Structure 1
Amino acid sequence: MEYILQPWPWYVSGPFIAIVMFLLLYFGRTFGMSSNLSTFCSIGGAGKRVKFFDFDWRQHQWNLIVVCGAIVGGYIAHNFLSNPIDIELSQAAITDLEKLGFHDVGKSLLPTELFSWNAVVSLKGFLILTIGGFLVGFGTRYAGGCTSGHAITGLSSLQLPSLIAVIGFFIGGLIMIHLIYPILF
């Protein structure tokens, strides 16, 4: 009998997230990937040129544990906890995705049309990554944090600016996928 892996149910993963958030708040820390990137930039010496990165990165070493945990956790999840069966999608979703140029819809979580070396090294893929990376970096800085920081840390500590930022992230995502994405692909 083959064991089929299922996603962790909310009543398991939810309390884990709550415990981590409680511990971070208790120790005066916040969670967010953009703060990790700031730490890496500070380590690399960006503070010599940009005041924003001019801080003692040693006080933020715990951020590096978050990055390592994300990498190791992603590896473990992909290689040991993934269920390699097809993704169940409605026929309407499959038809819409095929109209947008996706093939083998539902065969993978990451479509090869977007997540392959051929897509990255093409001019279109390079421009999308470059412009998208700049916009994400600018938006993260402008919003005072990233989606994970605002949605997990900010909302759990009842911060109104984080609620506004999360609403903005969702509106931006809806605009992107329904208005801009069909033009690009």
Structure 2
Amino acid sequence: MYRACAWQAARDGAETPEQIAAVVTGADLRVSTDPDDPRISINGTDVTQAIREPEVSASVSRVATVPEVRVDLVLRQQQIIAESRRGIVAEGRDITTVVAPHAPVRVLLVADPAARVARRQAELGERVDTEQVTDQVLRRDRDDSTVAAFTEAADGVTLVDSTHLSLDEVIDTIVALAEEVAR
């Protein structure tokens, strides 16, 4: 959601916190909860692929650190979760502490910064160099830490370090946690 709003803010030329907040609070933001068709659109434009572009990654913290934006998007996220009929998997930096602090399974997924940079570099390929990716990942951590506590597991949150785990191993670990809670 934050990435979609960053995309829209850039498209609209919103630069100040007030302009960014106006773009976000007035946006028609739609997020698919279908795991077989994960899509996100803003103001009628499908931005599912566009929000993964390096330019969006470089600007998302500028949007995510605006307090009015955080309030608006947290409420939207909470509404999506509340409307979920069979449960939902939600991910984000403050899901376990702010958005869904009472969820039955809460996981803080962490990885060594070098592993995170390598994964992001693999996702982006040759479109950006490692130095740019490192700056984006570490700067976003630094910027976002001013508005969200996402580096330490809160009480009741399970820490999963994915530094040396494959995607399948991470999924298996989290599914096992969910199954344990369901028993």
TM-score, normalised to structure 1's length? 0.28
More helix by share: 1
Higher relative contact order (CA 8 A, sep 6+): 1
Mark the structure with the bigger radius of gyration. Answer: 1
More strand by share: 2
TM-score, normalised to structure 2's length? 0.29
